Structure 1
Amino acid sequence: MKNILVVGAGGQIGSELVPHLQKIYGNSNVVAADINTKCADVFKDGPFELLDALDAQKFADIVKKYKIDTIYNMVALLSATGEKNPQLAWKINMGALMNSLEIAREFNCAVFTPSSIGAFGPNSPKDNTPQDTIMRPTTIYGICKVTGEMLGDYYFQKYGVDTRSVRFPGIISNVTLPGGGTTDYAVEIYYGAIQQKHYVCPLPEGTYLDMMYMPDALDACVQLMEADPSKLKHRNSFNVTAMSFEPSQIYAAIKKRIPDFTMEYDVDPVKKAIADSWPNYMDDSCAREEWGWNPKWNLETMTDDMLKVIGEKYKAGLLK
């Protein structure tokens, strides 16, 4: 049985990844770690450790204490947030990754670190973006992700560390709120539909972006880490996607279910510039061929589920 450490467990993906892993591997075999003290109240079903991922000694002590063999490094400042303080984004994103890799090398751990569509740049092909192509991102977030992919491959080739990664698209969740990403509108719009019957979209019509529903994202993490290593040709990092849409399409899907829902545009130039530098949709055939990636959710089924869950929270008075 694996002993797993999720660093950055309080983030958008980490907060749902921990219980997902606990269901598979057992509560006591999944350790949640985060710098936020409030997370101790969230992760009550299994071990929790307060950790600043930049503190290499404490990080290593936790790995040793729990005999960890797999590290999920989910620490990151996201794209739009990172542009506000690029120096801090580099310090956190790269510091947490280097500590994860070095500790994995010392204690013989496997490492999962998510990359992103943000790793691509304006010179990358926009449509059917290949697995292997030019990657010259124009955001500090993207620069961190490309560097992280290269470091992951380096630690695998030089030290034999079992590093694996996926390039996540925008992640849509009905559990955790957005955390400063360019694709956050695709989460916020559902809350706007339920709470105000109106949404102000920060991206212009026609801005296509790859997206994925959280259940598929969690499956991708586990499926890749469980994959036969002899079949992995790319490792860091696989394109994965489930759907691609632009604002008017997600609006139409919601309006079909909530007829009085309205939307207007108030374009955020920073988010627009970031989105314009990213792919419209990625080619994820390598992930499908090398480890059987096959998403289960699309825009229609996701919209049904999002509105159902968020609507129930709203009726129960659980939304602010």
Structure 2
Amino acid sequence: MTKSILIIGACGQIGTELTLALREKYGDVNVIASDIREGTDVLMKSGPFEILDATNYDALEDIVMHYEVEEVYLMAAMLSATAEKFPERAWTLNMNSLFNTLNLAKEKKIDKLFWPSSIAVFGSNTPKEQTPQHTLMEPSTVYGISKQTGERWCAYYHAKYGVDVRSVRFPGLISWKTQPGGGTTDYAVEIYVKALEKGSYSCFLKKGTKLPMMFMDDAIRAAIELMESDGAKLSIRSSYNLGAMSFAPEEIAESIQAVIPTFTISYNPDFRQAIADSWPSSIDDSQARKDWGWSPEFDLARTTAEMLENLR
């Protein structure tokens, strides 16, 4: 079955790999990549690409109508650490791009929308261990505030206008294919790069900072599986908790030392420590498992093996 799919923010950490995975599944010509800037050669040459500012409704609508787009994956966002430096710009990008796509769906110009939320919606008062699907959310970052607000708007548009919007709260994501994009969990990518380049790593989070993480292949699969699921079985239209593994910096260091025994880690926490301290250490994703059969495939050992092998 062919369908026309638009990826907004296709040049980002998730967007690049999501675009390539969807092109492999649905055909290169049926998956339109878009971003405010050009991406990698592989992304640009493997299928259609459009320069797009997702905060410009008319420009977005033009692309949707031209390609007769049925599904949109809205991946454009300013992430946690970067958003703290540019709060108003982050709010404008994160919220206006969402409103534009929700309104296109409301007007029946697209059929279905995927929009990622994040563990950043949780705050320091949220239960840390096995954070429930429904719980207290008092985010303390611009990124988290925009994602929590976005969740409420998604649920509202579904209830009020019947918009078929689907979402997951991504944990920290680990990938060897694309550079991290200014998030608080970026250390979990940097550590592998530095292990191979220098044999040592200075971590911007302190020892014992346990956070939920996920290998990118699992994250991409989760997004596509949720979009392919029977909508009648979905009980959450704000955003699903999504889990895979949880670890602290010293645990990822130990997994690297199992392969590179001489690797060393030191700790030099910066402003990102306060952000990490406000987030959960593990996630209860039982609702996602129940509603659409979510199950992760990568643990820390397998992630480390994949990262080191491919970065080499």
Alignment TM-score, normalising by the size of structure 1: 0.95
**8 Å Cα contact 1:233/1:290 also seen in 2:** yes
Q: 1:207 corresponds to which letter in structure 2?
A: T
Question: In the TM superposition, what is the alpha-carbon distance from 1:40 to its structure 2 partner?
Answer: 7.2
> Secondary structure of 2:195's match?
helix
> Secondary structure of 1:158's match?
helix
Identity of aligned residues (%): 51
Matched, 1:29 2:15: no
Question: In the TM superposition, what is the alpha-carbon distance from 1:39 to its structure 2 partner?
Answer: 5.4
> Secondary structure of 2:297's match?
coil
**8 Å Cα contact 1:40/1:48 also seen in 2:** no
Matched, 1:171 2:173: yes
Q: 1:1-320, aligned counterparts within 5 Å?
A: 1-38=2-39, 42-106=43-107, 107-268=109-270, 270-311=271-312
**8 Å Cα contact 1:97/1:148 also seen in 2:** yes
Question: In the TM superposition, what is the alpha-carbon distance from 1:298 to its structure 2 partner?
Answer: 0.4
Question: In the TM superposition, what is the alpha-carbon distance from 1:235 to its structure 2 partner?
Answer: 2.5
> 1:117-174 deviations in whole A, cap 9, x for unaligned?
0010111100010000111100010000001111111111111110000000000000
The whole-number CA distance in structure 2 between the counterparts of 1:74 and 1:40 is 19
> Secondary structure of 1:178's match?
coil
**8 Å Cα contact 2:38/2:44 also seen in 1:** no
> Secondary structure of 1:49's match?
strand
Question: In the TM superposition, what is the alpha-carbon distance from 1:44 to its structure 2 partner?
Answer: 1.2
> Secondary structure of 1:156's match?
helix
Q: 2:60 corresponds to which letter in structure 1?
A: F
The whole-number CA distance in structure 1 between the counterparts of 2:111 and 2:197 is 44
> 1:1-50 deviations in whole A, cap 9, x for unaligned?
22100000000000110010011111111000000035577321111111
> Secondary structure of 2:137's match?
coil
Change (3 A) 1:41 1:257: closer
Q: 1:152 corresponds to which letter in structure 2?
A: C
> 1:258-302 deviations in whole A, cap 9, x for unaligned?
01111111111x211000000000100000000000000000011
Unaligned runs of 5+ in 1: 312-320
The whole-number CA distance in structure 2 between the counterparts of 1:204 and 1:235 is 35
The whole-number CA distance in structure 2 between the counterparts of 1:146 and 1:261 is 39
Count of aligned positions: 310
Alignment TM-score, normalising by the size of structure 2: 0.98
The whole-number CA distance in structure 1 between the counterparts of 2:133 and 2:43 is 37
CA RMSD, Structure 1 to Structure 2 (Å): 1.0
Question: In the TM superposition, what is the alpha-carbon distance from 1:109 to its structure 2 partner?
Answer: 2.4
Aligned to 1:315: none
Change (3 A) 1:40 1:109: farther
Question: In the TM superposition, what is the alpha-carbon distance from 1:237 to its structure 2 partner?
Answer: 0.4
Q: 1:274 corresponds to which letter in structure 2?
A: I
Unaligned runs of 5+ in 2: none
The whole-number CA distance in structure 1 between the counterparts of 2:25 and 2:248 is 34
The whole-number CA distance in structure 2 between the counterparts of 1:165 and 1:56 is 21
**8 Å Cα contact 1:108/1:161 also seen in 2:** no
Structure 1 consecutive aligned stretches of length 4 or more whose deviation exceeds 3 Å: 37-42
The whole-number CA distance in structure 2 between the counterparts of 1:54 and 1:69 is 19
The whole-number CA distance in structure 2 between the counterparts of 1:191 and 1:39 is 19
Q: 2:17 corresponds to which letter in structure 1?
A: E
> 1:171-214 deviations in whole A, cap 9, x for unaligned?
00000111110000000000000001010001011100000000
The whole-number CA distance in structure 1 between the counterparts of 2:277 and 2:138 is 13
